[in-house]
């Protein structure tokens, strides 16, 4: 797209990343599903939350493919990306030996990134918080954030390798019920958080919902909400309608289901596939995209002793799919009905349609500048081609070589004058010791002082005028300024 550079852009984000995708033909091709049996991860002092996350990341087809190719074709130095890629390679190597792997490097990075001690070694932690932290660190590894504003940094993250996989754009609008004044805002997210409804303990059993599926939870997120306490800044009246939606869906939909601690919550049924609506282009109708489940994290509470995390992952796709339980170092095959019997904590879905990475504002401005620059160059080339160049310019600047003299008597008088001038000054006699270079040079200086007409030889005289008339034998019609004095005879330049 040109030689101009966008601040913060690296090989894993922005225009360079898009060109890399196109070069490897990954921009519109969905990756193959991971068709491998899981390898166990050792639980070294309460890292079950991390092991469950890493199993899900390993079975994310788009992440495995893009990360592997990026390390082959780009210089990747970020420690989080390097550690994740190294773990994937260890899991691949351990499959043949059937040995477990310890994710010590990732656990060490989690501990060093802990700000409030939430990921200290040996302590239990929340898998959702850990997942969000890992994605944020991987995003930072894809860009160069030096000297960037918050908005520029966020846009580059969305256009990066990790943002292309997990990134999505959520929007929210608020409309006043009285004056219909509307305001809207959008934000980038990498995890879709929904809340499971809770019911008070005093509620009658027949009024409770025993089950709710993931589709219902996503639908409740986009349902209109009426807020009576809200006050309009324009008309000062109260009451508004608030609605959230999805402006741009992700390629990998990560859903976190939050459950309130008070009250009673229904069972959440896992949907194997789901379809969500998104706004897309505001000028067009809402669109739909279909997702398929390929991984799930489960949290099983143990009361006062805390809880335990484990994961279900899918190998293959369609008729050849096989589900596995990945519970630290325990790996076993299960049916999807076994998956549905568990309460989901986090779910990972893959889109059936691959969406392109985000184009940032800086990219759009740069593209416009490059288009203007290209148009200017094109106009300049066109203007140059319309002007006479080279030989045509010289011909245009030189005097008229062959004067069209309509009056025959005038033409004869001019020819006779030229003949007399040559006879008196340099009558040529064969055998005279005079170089052709000098003769040609003198002939050019003489002709430069007179009107150029084609000299005709005097048939009654024996003087060889053809030798001294520059244009008598020339058929190329070049001006005299183009002749080379090194020719033995002036007529040789057109042979």
Question: What pLDDT shows up at residue 94?
Answer: 92
Residues 41, 177: one domain? yes
Residues 352, 396: one domain? no
Please determine, for residue 191, whether its predicted confidence score (pLDDT) is greater than 80.
yes
Residue pair 475/491 in contact by the 8 Å Cβ criterion: no
Model confidence band, residue 470 (pLDDT cutoffs 50, 70, 90): very low
301 is a domain residue: yes
Does residue 168 come out as left (phi exceeding 0), alpha (psi in the -120 to 50 range) or beta? beta
* CATH number of residue 39's parent domain: 3.90.70.10
Q: What is the pLDDT of residues 277-318, one digit of tens each?
A: 888 655 555 788 999 999 999 999 877 778 899 999 999 998
Residues 76, 23: one domain? yes
Question: What pLDDT shows up at residue 177?
Answer: 92
Residues 321, 218: one domain? yes
Please determine, for residue 64, whether its predicted confidence score (pLDDT) is greater than 90.
yes
Summarize the confidence of residues 438-460 as an average pLDDT.
42
Q: Which of 302, 328, 356 is the last residue of a domain?
A: 356
Please determine, for residue 67, whether its predicted confidence score (pLDDT) is greater than 90.
yes
Q: Which of 307, 341, 356 is the last residue of a domain?
A: 356
Question: What pLDDT shows up at residue 87?
Answer: 96
Model confidence band, residue 322 (pLDDT cutoffs 50, 70, 90): very high
99 is a domain residue: yes
Residues 281, 406: one domain? no
Please determine, for residue 115, whether its predicted confidence score (pLDDT) is greater than 90.
no
Residues 198, 299: one domain? yes
What percent of the chain is modeled with pLDDT above 90?
Answer: 42
Question: What pLDDT shows up at residue 306?
Answer: 81
Q: Which of 307, 338, 356 is the last residue of a domain?
A: 356
Question: What pLDDT shows up at residue 3?
Answer: 53
pTM of the model: 0.73
Strands laid side by side in the 238-248 sheet: 182-189, 168-176, 238-248, 225-231
469 against 329, higher pLDDT: 329
4 is a domain residue: no
Model confidence band, residue 205 (pLDDT cutoffs 50, 70, 90): very low
Please determine, for residue 471, whether its predicted confidence score (pLDDT) is greater than 70.
no
Question: What pLDDT shows up at residue 80?
Answer: 96
1 is a domain residue: no
369 is a domain residue: no
Question: What pLDDT shows up at residue 493?
Answer: 46
Please determine, for residue 183, whether its predicted confidence score (pLDDT) is greater than 50.
yes
233 is a domain residue: yes
Residues 408, 309: one domain? no
Residues 470, 336: one domain? no
Summarize the confidence of residues 440-447 as an average pLDDT.
41
Question: What pLDDT shows up at residue 460?
Answer: 45
Question: What pLDDT shows up at residue 413?
Answer: 61
Among 209-218, 368-377, 435-444, name the one with the lowest average pLDDT.
435-444
Please determine, for residue 451, whether its predicted confidence score (pLDDT) is greater than 50.
no
Residue pair 481/398 in contact by the 8 Å Cβ criterion: yes
* Euclidean distance between CA atoms 110 and 116, whole angstroms: 12
Please determine, for residue 123, whether its predicted confidence score (pLDDT) is greater than 90.
no
466 against 138, higher pLDDT: 138
Q: What is the pLDDT of residues 425-440, one digit of tens each?
A: 444 444 444 333 333 4
Please determine, for residue 99, whether its predicted confidence score (pLDDT) is greater than 60.
yes
Please determine, for residue 472, whether its predicted confidence score (pLDDT) is greater than 60.
no
Residues 148, 273: one domain? yes
384 is a domain residue: no
Q: What is the pLDDT of residues 126-166, one digit of tens each?
A: 999 999 999 999 999 999 888 888 888 999 999 999 999 99
Structural domain for 454, as ranges: 392-494
Residues 142, 225: one domain? yes
Q: What is the pLDDT of residues 381-428, one digit of tens each?
A: 888 887 765 555 555 555 444 444 445 555 566 556 555 554 544 444
Residues 422, 349: one domain? no
The mean predicted confidence, pLDDT, of the chain is 79
Residues 351, 408: one domain? no
Model confidence band, residue 200 (pLDDT cutoffs 50, 70, 90): low
Please determine, for residue 265, whether its predicted confidence score (pLDDT) is greater than 70.
yes
Please determine, for residue 455, whether its predicted confidence score (pLDDT) is greater than 80.
no
Number of domains in the chain: 2
Please determine, for residue 442, whether its predicted confidence score (pLDDT) is greater than 60.
no
290 is a domain residue: yes
Summarize the confidence of residues 8-35 as an average pLDDT.
89
């Amino acid at each position: 797209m040109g030689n101009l550079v966008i601040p913060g852009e690296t090989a894993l984000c922005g225009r360079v990343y898009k060109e890399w995708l196109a070069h490897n033909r990954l921009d519109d091709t969905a990756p193959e599903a991971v068709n491998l049996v899981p390898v166990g991860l050792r639980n070294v002092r309460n890292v079950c939350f991390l092991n469950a996350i890493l199993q899900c990341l390993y079975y994310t087809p788009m992440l495995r493919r893009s990360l592997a190719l990026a390390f082959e074709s780009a210089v990747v130095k970020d420690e989080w990306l390097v550690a994740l890629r190294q773990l994937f390679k260890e899991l691949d190597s351990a499959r043949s030996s059937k040995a477990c792997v310890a994710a010590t490097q990732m656990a060490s990075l989690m501990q060093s990134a802990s700000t409030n001690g939430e990921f200290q070694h040996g302590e239990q932690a929340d898998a959702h918080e850990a997942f969000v932290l890992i994605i944020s660190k991987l995003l930072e590894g894809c860009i160069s954030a030096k000297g960037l504003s918050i908005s520029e940094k966020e846009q580059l993250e969305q256009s990066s390798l990790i943002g292309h996989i997990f990134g999505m754009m959520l929007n929210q609008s608020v409309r006043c019920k009285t004056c219909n004044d509307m305001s809207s805002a959008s934000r980038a997210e990498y995890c879709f958080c929904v809340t499971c409804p809770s019911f008070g303990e005093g509620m009658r059993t027949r009024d409770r919902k025993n089950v709710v599926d993931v589709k219902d939870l996503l639908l409740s997120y986009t349902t209109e909400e009426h807020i009576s306490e809200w006050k309009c800044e324009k008309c000062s009246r109260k009451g508004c309608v608030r609605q959230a939606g999805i402006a741009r869906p992700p390629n990998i939909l990560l859903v976190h289901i939050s459950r309130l601690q008070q009250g009673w919550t229904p069972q959440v049924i896992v949907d194997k596939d789901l379809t969500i609506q998104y706004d897309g282009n505001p000028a067009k109708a809402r669109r739909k995209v279909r997702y398929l489940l390929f991984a799930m994290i489960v949290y099983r509470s143990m009361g006062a002793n805390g809880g335990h995390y484990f994961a279900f992952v899918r190998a293959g796709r369609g008729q050849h799919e096989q589900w596995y339980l990945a519970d630290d170092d325990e790996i076993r095959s299960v049916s999807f009905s076994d998956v549905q019997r568990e309460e989901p904590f986090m779910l990972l879905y893959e889109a059936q349609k691959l969406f392109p990475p985000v184009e940032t504002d800086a990219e759009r401005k740069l593209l416009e500048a490059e288009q203007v620059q290209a148009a200017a160059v094109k106009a300049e080339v066109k203007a140059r081609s319309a002007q006479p160049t080279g030989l045509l310019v010289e011909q245009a600047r030189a005097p008229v070589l062959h004067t069209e003299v309509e009056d025959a008597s005038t033409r004869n008088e001019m020819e006779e004058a030229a003949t007399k001038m040559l006879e008196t000054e340099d009558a040529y006699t064969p055998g005279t010791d005079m170089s052709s270079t000098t003769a040609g040079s003198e002939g050019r200086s003489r002709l430069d002082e007179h009107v150029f007409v084609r000299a005709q030889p005097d048939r009654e005289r024996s003087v060889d005028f053809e030798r001294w008339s520059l244009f008598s034998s020339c058929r190329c019609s070049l001006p005299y300024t183009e002749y080379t004095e090194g020719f033995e005879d002036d007529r040789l330049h057109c042979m």
